[in-house]
Amino acid sequence: MMQAQEIMTKDVVTISGSATIAEAVKLMKDKGLRALIVERRSDSDPYGIVTETDIVYKVAAFGHDPKKMRVYEIMTKPCVIINPDLGVEYVARLFANTRIRRAPVVKGKLLGVISISDILNKSDFVEKPKSEFELYCEENPSALEARIYD
Amino acid sequence: MLSARDIMTTDVVTISGSATIAEAVKIMKDAGLRALIVDRRSDSDPYGIVTETDIVYKVAAFGHDPKKMRVYEIMTKPCVVVNPDLGVEYVARLFANARIRRAPVIEGKLLGIISISDILKKSDFVEKPKQLYIEDRLDVAREEARAICAEKGATSPECAAAWDVVEELQAAAADKRQEKKTVNSLEAYCAENPDAEEYRIYDD
């Protein structure tokens, strides 16, 4: 099974929670990104994320001035994070259950971001779709159910 | 105000509802798209949309075989459509209320597709944030100011502060009206013919 770390985008940009929305938009436009990871203030602080959806839904839709609003007012923190070893099918399932579209990949430190687009464009779910049963057998190769009789 | 037409993506690809998910994924990958519009079967049939989110949430997440599932099983149809003349701020509000991220732009026929990314990257909401319903807010502020002044007295600081709010809103509303000023025929002519004699500007 492909893992999150194989299809994630390693090109991550972080931003401070106290930055203005206008700064965040500029950074997203310049780098062609749809989300920024919000820097942690300390090692015990959780990761946060601010996406283009947050900006459009919470700032543009109300005509608020992006120069006067700050990232911390609209970010999602703590956000769902993904372990780099998690299988792509499980990432898709987690995204569907939590209704999210992207999440930082973290193990000790920030390694990348994985999104719906990464799953669609880089994973092998079309060529090798895996059923619940196949996933179970792959995880538990010694289970009785996984025995294959030719 | 910029309208949907100004920032939409005109590069739209349609797909049949009976195509397989595998075909849809291939088209999306090849064309670098995040959504496809589902063809109408007749002129009275509504438009549909299938997005990468639909595919990941409803197919990949369950390990279903994309070669055996069809677009009509996961598409959103009818989908929300946007009029090309709708202001970008209203598109953002509509998207937020409907919890959607993209929609086809339609007037008679399919003109394009507008997404959250188009709003973020191409609209001027950072440079010129526009408050919707400013006239409505002005009415409310005026009523509130009158009530406060009646209660606290016409010379009270609360009364003065309340009317300051009204004044600020009036200024903002006036700014907005100013932006809508139409160009007169001479200005239009000069803009089209910058070399014309009439266009010469004399300093002092």
Alpha carbon of residue A43 to chain centroid: 20
**Mean pLDDT in residue range B71-91:** 94
Q: Which two tokens stand for residue B181?
A: 């000023």
B9: burial class by Cβ within 10 Å (0-12, 13-18, 19+)?
middle
- Greatest mean pLDDT range, A142-146, B102-106, B133-137: B102-106
* A60 interfaces chain B, CB cutoff of 8 Å: yes
Q: Angle at which helices B134-152 and B157-179 pack, to 10 degrees?
A: 160
How far, in Å, CA of B91 to CA of B103, rounded? 10
For the cut 80, the answer to whether the pLDDT of residue B117 exceeds it is: yes
Q: Give the three-class secondary structure for A147.
A: coil
For the cut 80, the answer to whether the pLDDT of residue B196 exceeds it is: no
> Taking the domains of chain A in order of start, what are their residue ranges?
4-125
**Mean pLDDT in residue range B1-13:** 92
> CB–CB of B93 and A61 under 8 A?
yes
Which of A119-133, B13-27, B126-140, B172-186 shows the lowest mean pLDDT across its residues? B172-186
Give pLDDT, residue B177.
Answer: 67
> CB–CB of A129 and B93 under 8 A?
no
Give pLDDT, residue B204.
Answer: 60
Q: Residue B104, preceding bond cis, omega within 30 degrees?
A: no
**Mean pLDDT in residue range B86-101:** 93
- Greatest mean pLDDT range, B100-109, B130-139, B173-182: B100-109
Nearest-CB residue to B61 (from A62, A96, A131): A96
Give pLDDT, residue B126.
Answer: 85
Q: Which two tokens stand for residue B20?
A: 């397989």
Give pLDDT, residue B179.
Answer: 57
CB contacts, 8 Å: A67 with chain B? 126
SS (H, E, C) B70-89: EHHHHCECCCCCECCCCEHH
Give pLDDT, residue B175.
Answer: 73
**Mean pLDDT in residue range B166-175:** 83
> CB–CB of A116 and B56 under 8 A?
yes
Give pLDDT, residue A137.
Answer: 75
Q: Which two tokens stand for residue B201?
A: 């500007």
DSSP-assigned beta bridge partners for residue A103: A114
Q: Using one digit for the tens of pLDDT, what is the confidence trace for B30-56?
A: 999 999 999 998 988 999 999 999 999
For A3-35, letters b (16+ CB in 10 Å) and e give bbbebbbeebeebebebbbbbbbeebeeeebbb
For the cut 70, the answer to whether the pLDDT of residue B178 exceeds it is: no
Which of A114-118, B165-169, B192-196 shows the lowest mean pLDDT across its residues? B192-196
Give pLDDT, residue B203.
Answer: 63
B125: burial class by Cβ within 10 Å (0-12, 13-18, 19+)?
buried
Confidence grade of residue B23 (pLDDT, cut at 50, 70, 90): very high
Q: Which two tokens stand for residue B204?
A: 């002092």
Which of A22-36, A79-93, B6-20, B118-132 shows the lowest mean pLDDT across its residues? B118-132
Instruction: For chain A, list residues with pLDDT below 70.
Output: 146, 148-150
Which of A120-124, B16-20, B96-100, B179-183 shows the lowest mean pLDDT across its residues? B179-183
Q: Give the three-class secondary structure for B163.
A: helix
Tokens 């996961």 locate to B74
- CA A141 to chain B, closest CA, distance in angstroms equals 19
Task: Tell me the pLDDT of chain B averaged across its residues.
Answer: 88
Q: Which two tokens stand for residue A108?
A: 């000790």
Cβ–Cβ under 8 Å, residues A119 and A91: yes
How far, in Å, CA of B86 to CA of A62, rounded? 15
Q: Which two tokens stand for residue A94?
A: 């987690």
Nearest-CB residue to A125 (from B60, B95, B123): B60
> CB–CB of A56 and B119 under 8 A?
yes
How far, in Å, CA of B75 to CA of B49, rounded? 6
Q: What angle do CA B132, B135, B138 make, to 5 degrees?
A: 115
CATH number of the structural domain A4-125: 3.10.580.10
- CA A40 to chain B, closest CA, distance in angstroms equals 25
